[in-house]
Structure 1
Amino acid sequence: MALTATGIGSGLDINTIVGVLVDAEKVPKEAIFDKTEETIDAKVSAIGTLKSALSNFQDALEKLKDGESLNQRSVSTGESTYLTATADKTSQSGSYNIQVEQLALAHKVAGTNVTDPTAAVGEGSLDLTVNGNSFSVNVGAADSLEDIAANINSAEDNVGVTATIITSDAGSRLVLSSDTEGTDSQISVVANDTTGSALNDMFGVGNLEELQGAQDSIVHVDGQKITSQTNEVTGAITGVTLNLTDADLSKTSTLKIELDTEAVKTNVQGFVDSYNSLINSIDKLTKYDSDKDEAAALQGDSMVRSIESQLRNMISDRVTVGSESVALYDIGIEADRYGKLSVNSSKLDSAIETNMAGIEGLFSTESTGLAVRLDDLVEGYVKTGGLIDSRNNAYTSDKQRLDSQREAFSLKMELLEARLFKQFNAMDLVVGKLNQQSSGIVNGLNSLPGVIKNSG
């Protein structure tokens, strides 16, 4: 008799037996897979945290690399309405009396008025010149003032002229304004008619009206007269830019320039805080918790150890600034035995007062400045295709390899299960047949003459 269900012949629970045997091999291996995947995921997360910490540190370094943030100037003009000012690190502390005699003005000229700005004007071209530079605009037979203005403003070789249309009680006219103030930037127009004289009648000699004469600015600094083409005056005071806003020779504004010591302190403290934050992140990613007997994801990682080692070496280096050698300790930045930095305020104050050039040079000297070198170090790790990207690529490969191993192992377990079922089902058939044969023999013996059956 053929068996129709697993285990009927032998009476064994073959499904359970096979399940237990397969699990005995599968469960430990899957636990290893899970643990490996968990470790890879933890490392991917940790390396992302490290990259973020390095990038944040790099942001702080950017403020120090060029020295501007460390050598800032505070500028005051009181309540003056006549000028504002900015100063770079080359400016010297001081106070200046300033009178603005006149503002620079841009040249403005206008053609004759017409009744309808949308009507055709004439045919030919206009040659416009500003400060010796020229460009030409063609005027079509159907072109209106609006078309001419649009063509002037959109001309690729426009040398600094803006065209607008002003409509008044007298009609509409094309106004040409120089984009730059000063007498060097006066506008001249030559009208070239190909048909009739309409363009000359509007823009030619005697017809082009000057609405605003070009004018240079005049400012007096401590009684010394300075003339400038624009209202942005540079060079009058070293490192200072004056932006003139109004003029009255009888009014004096006081300009004060000082080293912005608070900005220096803020940026130095910002460097210290960002460095310590980076070290804290590294410590968390590499620590070993002896109480829990648990290691952080990057504990013992060679790349992280290398980063930390290079950072510690760099912050202890001295930088040659001019004829002297300067280190962080000299400006009041000290390191403890755990590698964390702190600021000695009184020592920093003294360095700011006596050696501002040394502070700036320590961080921003080209190639050797501390901020420059630290930025180069960090960039090698965080840039696209850098060392951290390479490490992430390695983790991705590990994950793909693990997925392949899982898939292969899963197939192996399916084959094992199929083989065990085949073997146990074969045994079940044999046992079933043996049981049938045994039953037949017993029945045959019982039916023999003279056999006394035990009634029982």
Structure 2
Amino acid sequence: MALTATGIGSGLDINTIVGVLVDAEKLPKEALFDKTEQTIESKVSGIGTLKSKLATFQDALEKLTDPDSLNIRKVSTGDSIYFGASADKTAQTGNYQIQVEQLASSHKIAGTNVADATSAIGEGSLDLSVNGEAFSVDIEDTDSLEDIANKINSADDNSGITATIIKSDAGSRLVFSSDETGTDNEVSVIANDTAGSGLNDMFGSGNLTTLSDAKNSIVYIDGQKVTSQSNEVKDAIVGVTLSLTEADMSKTSTLRIEQDDESVKENIQGFVDAYNSLIDSVSDLSKYDVENEEAAALQGDSMIRSIESQMRSAISNRVDVGGTTVALYDIGIETDRYGKLSINDDKLDKAINDDMGLIEGLFASPDIGLANRLDTMVEGYVKTGGLIDTRNNSLTSEKSRLDDQRDAFSLKMDLLEARLFKQFNAMDLVVANLNQQSSGLINSLGSLPGVVPQS
């Protein structure tokens, strides 16, 4: 006898029974899988947040690893149109009177004009030189002005000459310009004809015209004459670069150089803010909420503990700066009982005014400076292939293993369900057969002689 519907023979709801039995084994395990997956995802998210905060902290550190960011000069030129200026930390504060007599210019010479710029010029070579460095280009008998210009400009050994074609009412001519300004950079052109005299007629001695003389810049600083090959005058004032833009000897402008205390304080404040933000993030990622009995994503994580330990150790250490040991507290950066930093403005102002060198050394001394040590520490975590990447790779592998376990368990549950259905269906068939036999037996007994059917 074949059953066409589950439970027909026994009257049992086999689908429900099997579902309950399978769920009894499946649901607890799936809940464990879900919890494990949630934990992994929470850790991945937490580590991502930690990496972001470390990167932000590293950005703030970079401004303190550079000594120039801790010994800044503020430069003012008023509304002068004659020059701009920049200053490094070696520049002394003070005021300077500036007069620009002459701007530097490049040397430009030109060959004779021709009516047709596409016509061939001649055959031979041109020897060119600037500032004592020479090179040569060969000229074919079919080369036009444009061909000659291209050969000069693309020459591998070009020593600093640019060739251009100028078209005017008088015709077209080739112009040779020095790439650099100043009298040291005068251009020389010698024409060598191998056939005819075309090159010499255009570029030979007496056939070249000076369009612009090579000139040095001339500037007066507090009445002292300074000459430069370019319009950038470096270290005439120690640590200062002047960029000359206009010349007028009758106009005097004032250059003012001051120590930029506010920018230094901003960089230090940026460090303090980024440090505190990182400390807050580390605390949030590692705390335990007693009221809700809930642990944060990285609560108890060894990497978090290591970061906290390294940072607190670094900010409490003293740094030897030229025989004087200095710590954050000495320049007005204080630590509270929660490990967060704050700035005592009066103390920091005094430290800046008294000796910027100590602040520079505290943060930016190579290897031992606080900013350098913290930057090295942070880099070990955030760099490609660093500790955070290693942890993420580990979590990725853990997630992959969990997915494999889910798949294997799902297959196991499918097999269990199939086995239970097979067993219950077999039982259902047996019960159906027994019921059929029982009904047949009763009918047979009822038909025996002398048996009175019950009404």
TM-score, normalized by the shorter chain, greater than 0.5: yes
**Could you say which residue in structure 2 is the equivalent of 1:196?**
196
- Match of 2:68, SS? coil
**Could you say which residue in structure 2 is the equivalent of 1:245?**
245
Q: CA deviation at 1:245?
A: 1.5
- Match of 1:251, SS? coil
**Could you say which residue in structure 2 is the equivalent of 1:293?**
293
Gaps of 5+ in 2: none
Q: CA deviation at 1:103?
A: 1.5
Residues of 2 paired with 1:71 and 1:192: CA distance? Answer: 58
Which region of structure 1 is more displaced relative to structure 2, 187-196 or 83-92? 187-196
In the alignment, residue 103 of structure 1 is paired with which amino acid? L
The alignment status of 1:388 with 2:388, answered yes or no, reads yes
**Could you say which residue in structure 1 is the equivalent of 2:335?**
335
Residues of 2 paired with 1:273 and 1:147: CA distance? Answer: 62
Which region of structure 1 is more displaced relative to structure 2, 38-47 or 61-70? 61-70
**Could you say which residue in structure 2 is the equivalent of 1:88?**
88
The alignment status of 1:49 with 2:49, answered yes or no, reads yes
1:39-90 C-alpha deviation (Å, 9 max, x unpaired): 1011101101100100011111111111111211111122222211110011
**Could you say which residue in structure 2 is the equivalent of 1:184?**
184
**Could you say which residue in structure 1 is the equivalent of 2:254?**
254
In the alignment, residue 168 of structure 1 is paired with which amino acid? S
Which region of structure 1 is more displaced relative to structure 2, 254-263 or 220-229? 220-229
**Could you say which residue in structure 1 is the equivalent of 2:133?**
133
1:80-134 C-alpha deviation (Å, 9 max, x unpaired): 2221111001111111122222211111110101111122222222221111112
The alignment status of 1:228 with 2:231, answered yes or no, reads no
Residues of 1 paired with 2:12 and 2:247: CA distance? Answer: 109
In the alignment, residue 210 of structure 1 is paired with which amino acid? T
Residues of 2 paired with 1:427 and 1:245: CA distance? Answer: 103
Residues of 1 paired with 2:386 and 2:2: CA distance? Answer: 68
TM, length-normalised to structure 1 = 0.98
**Could you say which residue in structure 2 is the equivalent of 1:415?**
415
In the alignment, residue 421 of structure 2 is paired with which amino acid? F
Q: CA deviation at 1:270?
A: 0.7
Q: CA deviation at 1:223?
A: 2.1
Which region of structure 1 is more displaced relative to structure 2, 93-102 or 368-377? 93-102
Q: CA deviation at 1:235?
A: 2.0
- Match of 1:124, SS? strand
**Could you say which residue in structure 2 is the equivalent of 1:449?**
449
**Could you say which residue in structure 2 is the equivalent of 1:146?**
146
1:319-360 C-alpha deviation (Å, 9 max, x unpaired): 111121111111111111111111111111111100111111
Which region of structure 1 is more displaced relative to structure 2, 373-382 or 93-102? 93-102
Residues of 2 paired with 1:283 and 1:141: CA distance? Answer: 80
1:225-263 C-alpha deviation (Å, 9 max, x unpaired): 221111111121110001111222332222111101111
In the alignment, residue 446 of structure 1 is paired with which amino acid? G
Q: CA deviation at 1:296?
A: 0.7
Q: CA deviation at 1:161?
A: 1.1
Q: CA deviation at 1:267?
A: 0.7
**Could you say which residue in structure 1 is the equivalent of 2:424?**
424
In the alignment, residue 229 of structure 1 is paired with which amino acid? Q
Which region of structure 1 is more displaced relative to structure 2, 70-79 or 247-256? 247-256
Residues of 2 paired with 1:312 and 1:162: CA distance? Answer: 59
The alignment status of 1:303 with 2:340, answered yes or no, reads no
Residues of 2 paired with 1:103 and 1:4: CA distance? Answer: 105
- Match of 1:81, SS? coil
**Could you say which residue in structure 2 is the equivalent of 1:207?**
207
Residues of 2 paired with 1:378 and 1:125: CA distance? Answer: 61
In the alignment, residue 221 of structure 1 is paired with which amino acid? I
Residues of 1 paired with 2:156 and 2:343: CA distance? Answer: 55
Residues of 2 paired with 1:284 and 1:138: CA distance? Answer: 74
The alignment status of 1:368 with 2:368, answered yes or no, reads yes
State how 1:342-357 maps to structure 2 within 5 Å. 342-357=342-357
Gaps of 5+ in 1: none
Residues of 2 paired with 1:122 and 1:445: CA distance? Answer: 135
1:352-411 C-alpha deviation (Å, 9 max, x unpaired): 100111111111111111111110000000000000000001100110110111011011
- Match of 1:175, SS? strand
In the alignment, residue 412 of structure 2 is paired with which amino acid? K
Residues of 2 paired with 1:194 and 1:350: CA distance? Answer: 78
Residues of 1 paired with 2:217 and 2:194: CA distance? Answer: 41
In the alignment, residue 5 of structure 1 is paired with which amino acid? A
In the alignment, residue 230 of structure 2 is paired with which amino acid? T
The alignment status of 1:378 with 2:378, answered yes or no, reads yes
Residues of 2 paired with 1:304 and 1:155: CA distance? Answer: 59
Residues of 2 paired with 1:68 and 1:258: CA distance? Answer: 14
- Match of 1:305, SS? helix
Residues of 2 paired with 1:236 and 1:275: CA distance? Answer: 41
Q: CA deviation at 1:3?
A: 1.9
Which region of structure 1 is more displaced relative to structure 2, 130-139 or 421-430? 130-139
For these two proteins, the number of residue pairs brought into alignment is: 455
1:264-312 C-alpha deviation (Å, 9 max, x unpaired): 1111111111111111111111111111111110011110110011001
Residues of 1 paired with 2:368 and 2:144: CA distance? Answer: 63
In the alignment, residue 348 of structure 2 is paired with which amino acid? L
Residues of 1 paired with 2:231 and 2:409: CA distance? Answer: 79
The alignment status of 1:9 with 2:9, answered yes or no, reads yes
Residues of 1 paired with 2:290 and 2:125: CA distance? Answer: 87
1:187-235 C-alpha deviation (Å, 9 max, x unpaired): 1012122221111111111111111111111222222222111111112
- Match of 2:180, SS? strand
Residues of 2 paired with 1:277 and 1:127: CA distance? Answer: 65
Residues of 2 paired with 1:47 and 1:442: CA distance? Answer: 76
1:2-22 C-alpha deviation (Å, 9 max, x unpaired): 222211111111111111100
**Could you say which residue in structure 2 is the equivalent of 1:317?**
317
Residues of 1 paired with 2:286 and 2:89: CA distance? Answer: 42
Residues of 2 paired with 1:118 and 1:261: CA distance? Answer: 63
Which region of structure 1 is more displaced relative to structure 2, 418-427 or 114-123? 114-123
**Could you say which residue in structure 2 is the equivalent of 1:281?**
281
- Match of 2:149, SS? helix
Residues of 2 paired with 1:49 and 1:125: CA distance? Answer: 67
**Could you say which residue in structure 2 is the equivalent of 1:219?**
219
In the alignment, residue 75 of structure 1 is paired with which amino acid? V
